[in-house]
């Protein structure tokens, strides 16, 4: 069975670039690798992406429930789901997973409720490894503005982004999951080398 690796961080922390670099490096080493993301491209995921892009501030409990539904489909889809890919010996790299639900929806909904409904879902998978790109929210916002200009729902207020960052750290302290926190305010190549080293150690266990 393959390994399930999750990449987390605020938008603007460099996740997308590093996921591409990691996937390429693993493929060059003969690892079967598949990248994926949440929200997904499924019909629930597309609705969530539209909600975020349009800054449609829906009820947080509704948001958390929709993310859970999208996540369970992401895991269990018989053709493209994470479980199926792992059974086919792919190493799956996901841009976001349940940690994001806890951190983001936990800003306004009860975080313990969001955590419990995810962690108690019988189909939920625990990642083999989570790497969190830690970066100051102000730097994240500056990168977003420079990169694509428009700000989504959770990107408009640096204070909220700071609360989300704190939530991530609180969640990691609560869970027994294998989480590695790295400083994302460094040279891209330096970060990529550290990420690859962490992942290769996990793959070689």
pLDDT tens digit at each of 205 positions of the chain: 899 999 999 999 999 999 999 999 999 999 999 999 999 999 999 999 998 888 777 788 999 999 999 999 999 999 999 999 999 999 999 999 999 999 999 998 899 999 999 999 999 999 999 999 999 999 999 998 887 766 766 766 888 999 999 999 999 999 999 999 999 999 999 999 999 999 999 999 8
Q: What is the CATH number of the domain that holds 133?
A: 3.40.50.300
| Alpha carbon 151 to chain centroid, angstroms | 18
| End-to-end Cα, the chain, rounded Å | 13
pTM value is 0.94
CA distance 73 to 80: 9
Domain count, the chain: 1
| Alpha carbon 137 to chain centroid, angstroms | 16
> Which one, of 130, 127, 40, lies nearest residue 86 by Cα?
127
Q: CB–CB of 48/124 below 8 Å?
A: no
Would you state the structure tokens that stand for residue 103, as one six-digit string? 């951190």
Q: Is the dihedral of CA 14, 20, 26, 29 positive or negative?
A: negative
Q: Residue 197: how many CB atoms within 10 A of its CB?
A: 9
> Which one, of 129, 131, 149, lies nearest residue 53 by Cα?
149
Q: Which domain holds residue 64?
A: 4-203
> Which one, of 93, 90, 115, 99, lies nearest residue 20 by Cα?
93
Q: Residue 158: how many CB atoms within 10 A of its CB?
A: 15
């Amino acid at each position: 069975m393959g390994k399930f690796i999750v990449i987390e961080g605020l938008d603007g922390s460099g996740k997308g670039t590093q996921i591409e670099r990691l996937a390429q490096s693993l493929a060059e080493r003969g690892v079967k690798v598949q990248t994926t993301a949440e929200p997904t491209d499924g019909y629930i995921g597309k609705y969530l992406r539209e909600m975020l892009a349009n800054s449609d501030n829906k009820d947080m409990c509704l948001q958390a429930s929709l993310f859970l539904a999208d996540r369970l489909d992401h895991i269990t889809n018989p053709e493209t789901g994470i479980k199926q890919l792992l059974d086919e010996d792919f190493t799956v790299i996901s841009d976001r997973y349940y940690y994001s639900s806890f951190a983001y929806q936990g800003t306004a909904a009860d975080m313990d409720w969001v955590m419990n409904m995810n962690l108690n879902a019988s189909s939920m998978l625990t990642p083999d490894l989570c790497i969190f790109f830690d970066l100051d929210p102000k730097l994240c916002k500056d990168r977003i503005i420079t990169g694509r200009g428009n700000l989504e729902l959770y990107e408009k207020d640096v204070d909220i982004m700071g609360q989300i960052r704190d939530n991530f750290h609180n969640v990691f302290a609560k869970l027994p999951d294998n989480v590695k926190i790295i400083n994302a305010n460094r040279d891209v190549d330096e970060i990529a080398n550290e990420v690859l080293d962490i992942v290769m150690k996990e793959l070689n266990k």
